[in-house]
Structure 1
């Protein structure tokens, strides 16, 4: 079994640390603007991008940007806020679909300017455009 080089270990550590720091900074920017956490945005965006605005919980989980260990509780809170609603799955009463509401669409739209600006501030502004393209290409290989 081949062990990773020092450089590979360093990349792994830096990727994980950078992800944690950037996510925490973006979460703080959303909080300061009075918005819910980034996970809510991820669910709303994923639902909004679906042609019908509805997905199964499993499909939502696969499309999220970040790990969500308890999606069911997150969806419960979002449903209480009127951002999503659970509807019966056609032909299978044991399953459900989650559907974005107009209120959810509105929240996602209002969150994006803060989220987008934070992405630019904490990621985009750290690199020249050519470096960003190069980094995206390199990370795409992973």
Structure 2
């Protein structure tokens, strides 16, 4: 008799589906606000926000890819779009000539300042409004170890690339 496949109990399954639904609804609302206010994708906003939050206004491309959990090629494409709009600039890293650094421009800072109030409004209204301050703290306390556990694996940008068959 073969072993039965692993399963989730009803509480786990309910928590999983709730998390997926909340995440999907929140992301949809955030993406809509970012498109309407700044003509930005969610990933582009994440990149600008991470750069804007950095004391230097810059990050290495690899660190950005790890931070936003995005592939290297996908990040290169998104940064190219932002660079074309004058929102970021790329340059060789002063610490490692093999690395590329992305820096936020003044136009990038202005766009971030334009979209951020609406972003905060959406997040507050949808995610935090129905919760008490203690609930928000409990949510943060619950999610942090899950995030840390998931981040303990090598970052996506460090994963080995698959070779195409016949190459």
TM-score range relative to shorter protein: 0.7 to 0.9
TM-score by length of 2: 0.74
| Residue number in structure 1 paired with 2:136 | 132
Bigger radius of gyration = 2
Q: Which runs of 5+ in 1 are unaligned?
A: none
Q: Which runs of 5+ in 2 are unaligned?
A: 147-167
| Residue number in structure 2 paired with 1:6 | 10
Cα distance in structure 1, aligned partners of 2:35 and 2:102: 25
Structure 1 residue 101 displacement after superposition: 0.8
- Structure 1 counterpart of 2:91, from 87, 90, 96: 87
| Residue number in structure 2 paired with 1:40 | 44
Conservation of the 8 A alpha-carbon contact between 1:82 and 1:103: yes
What secondary structure, in the 3-state scheme, does the structure 2 residue paired with 1:141 have? Answer: helix
Please show how residues 14-33 of structure 1 align to structure 2 within 5 Å.
14-33=18-37
TM-score by length of 1: 0.86
- Number of equivalent positions: 140
CA RMSD of aligned residues (A): 2.0
What secondary structure, in the 3-state scheme, does the structure 1 residue paired with 2:99 have? Answer: strand
Could you say which structure has the higher strand fraction? Answer: 1
